[in-house]
Structure 1
Amino acid sequence: MMVDEDRRLGGAEPTPKQIKRWRQYLANERAEAAVYRELARHREGEEREILMAIADAESRHEDHWRNLLGEHVGFPQKPDLHTRWLGFMAKNFGTVFALAMMQTAETRSPYRDDEDATGQMKADEAIHAEIVRGLASRGREQMSGGFRAAVFGANDGLVSNLALVLGVMASGVEPHIVLITGISGLLAGALSMGAGEYISVKSQSELLDASTPHPRAGKAVPLLDVDANELALVYRARGMSEIEAEVQAAKVFEQLESTHHVNGEILNAGAVSVPDTQGAAWTAAISSFLCFGTGAFIPIIPFIFGLPTLVSGVVALVLVGLSLMVTGSITGVLSGKPPLMRAIRQLCVGLGAAGVTYALGTLFGVAAS
């Protein structure tokens, strides 16, 4: 703190521009410390300790700007809009979204080119970005796969059915034909997605189950020739090295000698673990069906209300465009990337696909006439 005081008092009085910038830094640091403490309040154990440690570091940065300002500190100032948004996310949407946004914020530290920030502060911000990246990665791994599937499933429904509806509309058919086509596309796509997810999850479960030891294998172990040690070959076939396999087999035979009973966990050493998938296939199937169906329903909404064909097409484009930007923003936030850029990318890809099918529909319509 003495260094900060000497720096402020040893030179000229700070300019109004510096005072304004320092006050904003002070407000942002205070708010960011509060965000980390709010996130810590919802966590336990190691993650809570890490978040509290970052909050303490932000408080040290806050002291730096307060000391530089001195008598110019003034009344407490509001943090910038982005920092306030982070606080709102931390209070209302949990740690995964907030940490993903904090990762982006820490990566874009304003201190990098600011000579009034100390080298230690700049280093702190760089390290904070990596800490938050690690915490956010934990959250992404723990996040339900069903949530990710919901976002991507809805996005698939939006794009595919919009493209289908616009392509058919461009061919010049009657509005009710477009509506029937859209409903058919919704049902066909949703059923296909649901069936695909069901088969995928069941197949994965069956493949893993085929890799687990057969129940009858344990009964044969006591009859094995200890000297031949064929049990070691089982472990080697599962990926253990020769030495590891022999050590594991020796453990099993020692247990047999002492208890005349083989522990199932020892027999399963090196085997592929099979997760509990009871009901998972149906859950994945129903989730995919509903999510795709929800997305695919949006492009046909204006046709349900009987609007003129051209008006319905424009309204469908607007509704789907807004929805694509929402799903793009969500994926951007979860990946720690700027949500606006991801939203625009999602919009361009979706509308691009719709544009291609509209052009093809127009060509087929002209050819048919």
Structure 2
Amino acid sequence: MTPDSITPLLSPGGAEVLAAACAAFTPGSELQLVEKLRRRYDAAVVTAAVTQASLRHRAVAKFGPADAARMYFTPDGLEQATRSTVGSHRAARIAATLPGATVVDLGCGIGGDLISAARAGLRVTGVERDPATAAAARANLTGLGLPGEVLVGEAQQHDVTQYEVVFADPARRADGKRVFDHNAYSPPWSFITDLLTGTACVKVAPGIPHEAVPDGVEAEWVSDAGEVKEAALWSGKFYAGTARRATLLPSGATVTSAPEAECGPIGQYIYEPDGAVVRAGLVTAVASAVDGWLLDPRIAYVTGASLVATPLASVYEVVETLPYREKALKAWVRSEDIGTLEIKKRGVDFDPATLRKKLAPKGSASATLIVTRIGRDAVAYSCRRVAPTS
């Protein structure tokens, strides 16, 4: 997309075409909708409007229906945008430390983080190298009635000394493929570490190695509805001596320390720590919270004798211990009349989908099979998922 494909939609005439496209849009109807609207409107504006209608439909999952219906997107900008729940959490943390601060967002994309920051009362400036994406970010602030500016430019060339807070979301894709090595980020890691010598927050991939985090910087792993979304590095005035943190949304539960925990035999319950807790290396915090212990010191499963409600983990009641052999597991599936089988694993190398196909569950009951390793041995547990309590 180009700025010319977004700008026409901002005029009264373009807004009319966009409204018509959004009102008639259903997934898979793009070609037919384009043909229909071209009978009434200019072809170029119609194509841009239908593209926006499709992107807005997809954006509901990240931004909610109210905001998505008023925003503008590019395909890459939507793909890389921060989910609003995560952006709001981050903005609230910045505002709690530095109320009303000036914030520059280097590589602001379509402005998802600018929106959250502006709503938190922060004074925002976005810098984006792609003109079309910058145009979308600018339109999004305006469309949502929020103050702020968006500049077209290179992150590395922008003077950040005039701002109280620097936020950066380095690109983690190259040639259309996701980049997992932090040394391959753009801007480069050396630029990121320079930013972290001041008051900054940098969004990074959840797989960031602990040893890559500079001294005096907090690494916070964030999950939303049980799915790990990102890690964020906090420095300067945001650093208060915590090295690693896990934050779970939407509850806002957070944990920062990992007390020592013992290992022991299987208890009545298995606790599966949230992915953010695992990534942060704070699994033993779950053991402490539920008065439990680890099954194995290198495996992220906690077990305990009692059912204890915790936002830090999912809970499964252990029904029986099973031999980890295909023949024995097939017999278990048949004898228990299992038709819906959830398979979870840690520390063992197999594909759950392949195993499920081999076990061929066809009955009416449901169960969870947890397969893990204790020492050198693989073990399996028949379990029932325990519904979370409020």
Q: Which of the pair is proportionally richer in helix?
A: 1
Q: Which of the pair is proportionally richer in strand?
A: 2
The TM-score with structure 2 as length reference comes to 0.21
Structure ID, larger Rg:
1
RCO higher in 1 or 2 (8 Å CA, sep ≥ 6)? Answer: 1
